[in-house]
C-alpha cells in the first residue's frame, strides 16, 4: 500500500476516533444529537443519540490538524473527516431502519461505509489504486475490531467491538 493510502487510512482512523474520545473526556456535555431527536416514518430515531454535533466537529477539527503532520494540506483532513462522518451517519441511519439499537454491533455496517466513502471519493484526488480503495476499508474494519477491544479494556469505549 502506498504512503498516500496509508495516510488516508490514518486520517480515517483519527476522524472515527474523535467522537469516542470526546465522549470519554466530556461525558454528556455538549452532546447535542445530529438528528435533534427526530424520527423517521418507522417511528425510530433518524440516527440515534450517539451521533452528535460535538463528535462531528471534533472529527473535522482534529483530522484537519492531523493532515499537515502527514504532509498533506489541512483541507484533505477536513474532506476525509467529512466523508468518514457521512459514511458513519449513513451506517447509523441503516442500523436504525434495521431495528438495531444505538451502538449495537453490526460488523461491516459499522466500519465499511465510513472508510469506503472517503477511499472511493478521494481515489482520483490521491491517485489511489483500486486495490488500495478496497484495502483501506478492510484494514480499517480489522483495526477497528482489534482496537475497540483494547479501548474497552482501557475504559475508553463502552462496548468491546
Distance CA 112, CA 19 (A): 17
Angle among Cα 123, 114, 34 to the nearest 5 degrees reads 130
Question: For residues 8-46, b (16+ Cβ closer than 10 Å) or e, as one string?
Answer: bbbbbbbbbbbbbbbbeeeeeeebebbbeeeeeeeebbb
What's the CA gap between 40 and 42, in Å, rounded? Answer: 5
pTM of the entire structure? 0.91
CA distance 97 to 119: 25
148 and 160 in contact (C-beta within 8 Å)? yes
Quote the percentage of the chain above a pLDDT of 70. 97
State what percent of residues in the chain have pLDDT above 90.
72
pLDDT tens digits, residue range 39-89?
999 999 999 998 999 999 999 999 999 999 999 999 999 999 999 999 999
User: Residue 16 and residue 52: Cα distance in Å, rounded?
Assistant: 13
pLDDT for position 161: 65
Cα–Cα dist 130/149, whole Å:
30
Amino acid at each position: 500500500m502506498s504512503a498516500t493510502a496509508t495516510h488516508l487510512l490514518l486520517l480515517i482512523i483519527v476522524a472515527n476516533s474523535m467522537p469516542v474520545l470526546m465522549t470519554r473526556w466530556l461525558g454528556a456535555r455538549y452532546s447535542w444529537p445530529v438528528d435533534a431527536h427526530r424520527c423517521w416514518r418507522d417511528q425510530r430515531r433518524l440516527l440515534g443519540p450517539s451521533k452528535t454535533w460535538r463528535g462531528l466537529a471534533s472529527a473535522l477539527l482534529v483530522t484537519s490538524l492531523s493532515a499537515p503532520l502527514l504532509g498533506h494540506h489541512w483541507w484533505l483532513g477536513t474532506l476525509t473527516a467529512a466523508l468518514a462522518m457521512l459514511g458513519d451517519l449513513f451506517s447509523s441511519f441503516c442500523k436504525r431502519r434495521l431495528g438495531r439499537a444505538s451502538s449495537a454491533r453490526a460488523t461491516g455496517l459499522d466500519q465499511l461505509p465510513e472508510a469506503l466513502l472517503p477511499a472511493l471519493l478521494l481515489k482520483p484526488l490521491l491517485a489511489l489504486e483500486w486495490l488500495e480503495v478496497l484495502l483501506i476499508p478492510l484494514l480499517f474494519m480489522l483495526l477497528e475490531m482489534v482496537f475497540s477491544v483494547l479501548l474497552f479494556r482501557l475504559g475508553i469505549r463502552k462496548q468491546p467491538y
